[in-house]
Amino acid sequence: MVANHTIISLRQSSQAVSQEQPVHPIIDRLIQGITSGKRASLAESITLVESKHPKKKELARELLNSALRLLKEKELNSTPTFRIGLSGPPGAGKSYFIEKFGKQLTAMGHRVAVLAVDPSSNFTGGSLLGDKTRMADLSRDPNAYIRPSPSSGNLGGVTRTTNEAIVLCEATDYDIILVETVGVGQSEYAVADMVDMFVLLIPPAGGDELQGIKRGIVEMADLTLVTKADGDLMPAARRIQMEYTSAMKFVRRRLPFDIWLPSVFRISSVTGYGMDRAWSKMKQFHERMIDIGEFNKKRREQRKVWMWNHIQDQVLDRFKTHPLISQRLSSIEKRVQEGELTPGWGAEYLIELFTKKL
């Protein structure tokens, strides 16, 4: 599934795009860098897309339109990229797994992009951004790119621009995209709407420690990996594997049995145990989905879902910055807090203000 490099043709497409309509110099420079596979250009492009500045948002829109055109041609000349969502509870060893797994993939000739969505403080908006430090070896690999992105308080940590970052990574000729989330929560549902395969990583822990894994998350998993299957933890890993394999018989599946049967494997990022088998299963899933047409069907549906996610985000942003809302929001919030207005009544009042013509 190694991507066929079509840099020359992509450059020609970039030039064709620039001939159709005037392109901003910044966009032209970034697109040239992206089509050459430059990580610096990719990093700058994602930063531009993440910006909330109005003028930069206009540039980001132009950049993404150009990137999409390039991807359209690329898809005609190579095997489709593979987007894999990775999640699990704290202590599952997600980052260490991604480091070893990423190195395994680049050794096979793949180009791997890791979008590690980092937790942000709901109070300060700050993020830890430690993923690059925890993946030191992979970050130095010329065929890998790691982008820690603050979650900015979004549910579970999936940023609004993660989907656009995926598009830019693929335009830069990364054929495998790994999306790591901050934990197990609402973010996993958002990740499932932007990846081709959802992989759940669980540690060989006791039942109480695994209660945080919601049933719905287990149902979404196309593959479950029990991590840290080495040394003294091997017996516990075997036990968890058996428990989850048994539990899988009673959960509702995302796909019918005759299309895909989710497996539970043991792996060790330290010894490499089970890593080849896990990748083999992922490849099998990717090929199977392409063969039956489920791959393209899912991606088309995902684009529609993310369009509506952006509509919701942008409407909320415009609502909060509306002049009449800005004037009355604090007083309405206070009256709701004091019990003078019901939350529903307060919301209806603000919506009426929002829909009034200035």
Confidence of residue 249 (pLDDT cuts 50, 70, 90): confident
Q: Domain coordinates of the chain in residue numbers?
A: 1-77, 80-292, 302-355
E strand or H helix at 263: strand 263-266
What residues have CB less than 8 Å from 336, skipping those under 6 apart?
A: 342, 343, 346
Residue 1 to residue 111: CA distance in whole angstroms: 11
pLDDT at residue 122 in the model: 42
Q: Which of 3-7, 124-128, 149-153, 330-334 has the highest mean pLDDT?
A: 330-334
80-292 and 302-355: same fold?
no
CATH class in words for 80-292: alpha beta
Tokens of 87: 């999640």
CATH code for the part of the protein at 302-355? 1.10.287.130
* 127 phi/psi in degrees, rounded to 5: -130, 160
Q: What's the chain's Rg over C-alpha atoms? A: 22
pLDDT higher than threshold 80 for residue 14: no
* 19 phi/psi in degrees, rounded to 5: -75, -30
**Could you tell me the pTM of the whole model?**
0.83
Quick one: 164 exposed, middle or buried, by C-beta within 10 A (0-12, 13-18, 19+)? buried
More confident residue, 72 or 210: 72
pLDDT at residue 163 in the model: 87
Beta-bridge partner residues of 112:
144, 176
Q: Which of 33-37, 103-107, 339-343 has the highest mean pLDDT?
A: 103-107
E strand or H helix at 226: strand 223-226
Residue 170 to residue 35: CA distance in whole angstroms: 10
Confidence of residue 193 (pLDDT cuts 50, 70, 90): confident
pLDDT at residue 212 in the model: 52
Confidence of residue 34 (pLDDT cuts 50, 70, 90): very high
Count Cβ neighbours within 10 Å for each residue of 313-324 and write b for 16 or more, e otherwise.
eeeeeeeeebee
pLDDT at residue 121 in the model: 42
3-state helix, strand, coil in the chain (%, to 5): 55, 10, 30
pLDDT at residue 129 in the model: 46
pLDDT at residue 215 in the model: 66
Lowest mean per-residue pLDDT among 10-19, 71-80, 216-225:
10-19
